A and B are shown apart, each in its own frame.
Chain A
């Protein structure tokens, strides 16, 4: 086999097990904790200087989080909308240009392959962002349609700017017109001789934005925001702080709170949208889409087995990975994410329960917490109540125009 120059240049890729992100030169000197880990093959940080303070940057000032490793696909062509309508459970024909949709997609059996955000950049131009890679599935979904699909994860760098002063930072940075962005709206702005796409979206439940630029313009964007954020409490943060905020917001993480259908090894681990709290996404009135008949059949036949719920647990010990019981005896589920919420001042968790527990039977639920304290488990049985998500609802998230703080 002869290699084209691009492939030849990439031949040594395996020597770098985790690839630096486009922001690495700026982020690396800040990461005092050196708590690096891999996200989709890229090098990112669990924390930057102090997890606790980073969390409060999100909720009290502004936080900058590198989302470059998020998998990004560009879907273009006359049939892009048709293709995405076949792929996803929401009605893409109702999504206007310049809007962002939180969505999910399933296999033929109605099991969720992933969730993600769909950006409509033009009538026939979309960007799909998600946790897992899906190119073969996307290409097969596009079979017979006039649409081009390519992965642009590496060529597009992404930043999440989240927190009450995030709008002030953008404004200070000179992104005029950003005040007009309503939640789930996007627009392009001039930057460094090119464009940056800014959307009012995020994974924190707070006022916040996500910015996408060509990787070549990554550093200049970072510098522009960093400079503007100096007097607005802007901090770089790692994933742990973001994770706390997203639990408070009630957001789920693929392969954290549910197992995606393509990665599940065990037959009973797959989940339908209704089993992970995404039933509200499924638009049964739209045109045919992957998983439609299976989801409808499961609803009709009452064969949905699981339900994803928010739990509030007595006292203040986070119930991470705890087993959920009914009546102190019967195992009915597992907690996939749990924290003491500093903002809600509640002990909260996201759990997957076996129906009818969590769907019809809501009382007498308990969680078994094993808290490791200096090489000894403190075993606790705590009362849990099913509560609404989000656990934390902030008016500033959707206020128009956004407040400056």
Chain B
């Protein structure tokens, strides 16, 4: 059987690309190394009777264009919007309701108004940036009329709120989240939340230059029709992956799991097929790699088939993760202090202050984990009881936990787990005693389990030097690569990480449009 396109990697981006290409009539084969598709979007039974999302656990940027383009059936996993609560050991939690705090409980009237002003501004700016997320990265020195028209439209939109707002966009774009928070807010707990959200998944502290961009990126995402919206998928992230796979299959794509690719076959600068680990050879004129760009170019492509400058640049991609994933099996629902029972279904953030996030970041610069980490906690089985036969599951993103821990994760992991559990215990007394099973995935574990070099879920730091026409590297930005016939479509490509489907969609559309460089 012959195929027009072979897609390497069955993460949600690979599946999106498969569905998009298949819908356009291409004969598509998707190869996934693992036994199930989904990659970082999975549901795992980490302890008998306890299921949770394996890595990504919140839907906050699944793109409506992707949903529409591939006919993704969201009914199997869509759930109601959830609030964000900022936990405190000593006072009531602050709760942001609606999409990123349309209303806010737990702060004074004045502070609420200040937050509303900042929120409005950030969402407006994010709306402008979203325009860049929805199309291929602009090409330097090769601007098409279409690009120009799009930039002009963005410019007009920018000016629609007046020149002062336009200036503010340019002023704030590369600032750090700490300075902006200080400018607008007084409540340090709110600042802590913004700091956490801006830096989650990045090797930045809130006072690092450009850290505001992480918050902008978050707010370019939307869920349930609202920018900054979020929900916990029913059935865990595996249910989302399942829906993607069904869309791809329905479009006519063939999916083969447990089929790891050994190498990409190329000749004289032209890619034309793949060889599987078991020796099977499959040919196609289009090879789309929806896995980490470093794996693609340093492990699958023969070095003799690529150029030195490209492989050097690929080697320089900064892709060391800083986030650990914690899965807990609890014998009962934990009670977090100062939090209503209903709000336990929300996203619970432990970040006391701006300084808390900054000091949590500092050790990671020197290859050490935070002695007092910040984290984002969800209790998935509260909203979806099917995830736990008894008791309760807890899923948390904990940072900072540097990939290259100086002492090594073998000895570091048990110590870090103790620290994390202690942190949880302080906010939910009695939690430790109810732990039946604890699983901590360090970035090193995430790398191994999900085949993500550096354990970085964005397949490369989302910092300005690795965005747009420099994502993942300049020579391979915009989905085409210097190896003709080979295209990229993972989170390592524009617009980047998170469960959005956009890299897969944009890459597939680029191929359908002719795929030229």
Contact = CB atoms under 8 A, between A and B. Distances in A.
A107 B303 contact: no
B108 interface: no
Contacts of B307: 86, 107-108, 288-292
Contacts of B304: 82-83, 85-86, 145, 287-288
Contacts of A108: 307-310, 475, 482
A108 B481 CA distance: 12
Interface string A73-96: 000000000110111000000000
Given A87-B308, A108-B310, A143 B303 contact: yes
Interface in A276-293: 286-293
B269 interface: yes
Given A85-B304, A86-B303, A145-B304, A290 B309 contact: yes
B484 A288 contact: no
A154 interface: no
A270 to B, nearest CB: 13
A86 B308 contact: yes
Given A288-B269, A288-B306, A292-B269, A143 B482 contact: no
Interface residues of A, number: 22
B266 interface: yes
A140 B306 CA distance: 12
B151 interface: no
Contacts of B305: 288
B68 interface: no
Interface string A136-153: 010011011100000000
Nearest to A107: B309
Interface in B244-275: 266-269
Interface size class of B (residues with CB under 8 A): 20 to 34
Nearest to A292: B269
Contacts of A289: 307
B315 interface: yes
Interface in B463-499: 475, 482, 484
Contacts of A144: 298, 302-303, 311
Contact of B482 (A85, A140, A286, A293): A293
Interface string A88-126: 000000000000000000011100000000000000000
A293 B311 contact: no
Q: Which 5 A-B pairs have the closest CB atoms?
A: A108-B309, A144-B303, A108-B307, A141-B308, A140-B312
Q: Which of A82, A107, A289, A293 counts the most B-chain CB atoms under 10 A from its CB?
A: A293
Interface in B308-358: 308-312, 315
A288 B304 CA distance: 7
A306 B309 CA distance: 24
Contacts, number: 58
A216 B266 CA distance: 46
Given A108-B475, A143-B315, A293-B484, A287 B268 contact: yes
B183 to A, nearest CB: 40
A143 B345 CA distance: 50
A34 B266 CA distance: 57
A300 B484 CA distance: 16
B311 A143 contact: yes
Contacts of B309: 107-109, 290
Nearest to A86: B304
Interface in A145-182: 145
Given A145-B303, A287-B268, 16 more contacts: A85-B304, A86-B307, A107-B309, A108-B475, A109-B309, A137-B308, A140-B308, A140-B311, A140-B312, A140-B315, A141-B308, A143-B312, A290-B308, A292-B307, A293-B269, A293-B484
A292 B298 CA distance: 20
Contacts of A287: 267-268, 304
A107 B307 CA distance: 8
A190 to B, nearest CB: 38
A293 B307 CA distance: 10
Interface string B263-297: 00011110000000000000000000000000000
20 contacts: A86-B307, A107-B308, A108-B308, A108-B475, A140-B308, A140-B311, A140-B312, A141-B308, A143-B298, A143-B311, A143-B312, A144-B298, A287-B304, A288-B267, A288-B268, A288-B305, A289-B307, A290-B307, A292-B307, A293-B482
Q: Which of A108, A145, A291, A292 counts the most B-chain CB atoms under 10 A from its CB?
A: A108
Contacts of B303: 86, 143-145
A142 to B, nearest CB: 8
A144 B307 CA distance: 12
A94 to B, nearest CB: 16
Nearest to B312: A140
Contacts of B266: 288
